[in-house]
Amino acid sequence: MGFLLAIISIASIVLYFVTTADSASLVTDSMASNGIEVTPVIQRIFWAFSIGATATALLVAGGTTALQALQAVSIVIGLPFTFIILLMFKSMWTAIKTVTMEIRPDDKDFHTDLLDLTSTCKKSLQLMLAVVAPWVFVGKTKAALSGSEENRKLWLHLSIGALLFYVSVMLGIAEVKVVNLGYVGLSIYFFFAAYVSNVRRKVRDVYRIHNYTMIDDLFSCLFLYPCTVVQMFVQVTHEDLNKKEDLLLKPTLNIALSNAENGEIQSTA
């Protein structure tokens, strides 16, 4: 019975490896050929042997802990690819909304692209400062959105951003000495990203930028916080103040006019 189960197990492993390697070699060959679906057979065989040789080398080099080494490599390679898949999902969702005309090419957008912040020396310096002190730009952006009456609360916004950011960094560094402190720091950094994403959402609401969602705001703040805070700061400092006031007053004026029209209709009736 044991001999039969051993044969079945080996056959299952071989079939699993062959089908997986075949699919992997097909996809890798297509990617290496710039998306061409029909490629030379010898090229596909080369990628299949390369994948097999890589797995064999890991098993041989790992010795008694070969499977652990193989699992570690799978996690190390698979984790960054997870973020690529998330970006692909976002791109597909944006493409669908563009096709259904929910997003139009002429819709308003940020004055500066998220990754286009090194075009001038000033923006480059701002980006370098944002790496170590993002709370400066968050506080100034928040104060610009609040208006002149709320400028006295600038110190409060600066303190919140600085406290969350630096505590998360210090706890991450303390992970070297105290185990699991890094997880606490990561949680606090998530709160910092949520705080910044809320500010970015308010910037989008003020300037009528509807091409993004709250998920976009959160992920941009989590992974590209320097670019995000500088983008917000450039937006609020570039736009004319009178234009921003017009955007803020326009909905109120529309409501007032609508109420007036409704009152005239009711009085006529």
pLDDT tens by residue, 3-32: 888 888 888 888 887 787 778 888 888 888
Domain of 214, in residue numbers: 119-238
As given in the structure block, the two tokens for residue 132 are 């170590």
Q: Is residue 112 part of a domain?
A: no
- Please report the pLDDT score of residue 87 as a whole number: 75
**Are 133 and 183 found together in one domain?**
yes
Nearest to 248, CA basis, from 216, 206, 199: 206
The residues, ordered by sequence, that sit 6+ positions from 127 with a Cβ below 8 Å of its Cβ are 117, 118, 226, 227, 230
The pLDDT mean for the chain works out to 77
How many domains are contained in the chain?
A: 2
Distance separating alpha carbons of residues 26 and 48, to the nearest angstrom: 8
pLDDT classification of 63: cutoffs 50, 70, 90: low
Q: What is the mean pLDDT of residues 188-200?
A: 90
Q: Is residue 104 part of a domain?
A: no
**Are 136 and 35 found together in one domain?**
no
- Please report the pLDDT score of residue 241 as a whole number: 44
**Are 154 and 63 found together in one domain?**
no
Name the pTM for this structure. Answer: 0.59
**Are 227 and 127 found together in one domain?**
yes
**Are 125 and 234 found together in one domain?**
yes
State which amino acid sits at residue 128: M
- Please report the pLDDT score of residue 258 as a whole number: 54
> Would the pLDDT of 129 be above 50?
yes
Q: Is residue 212 part of a domain?
A: yes
- Please report the pLDDT score of residue 64 as a whole number: 63
**Are 125 and 223 found together in one domain?**
yes
**Are 137 and 82 found together in one domain?**
no
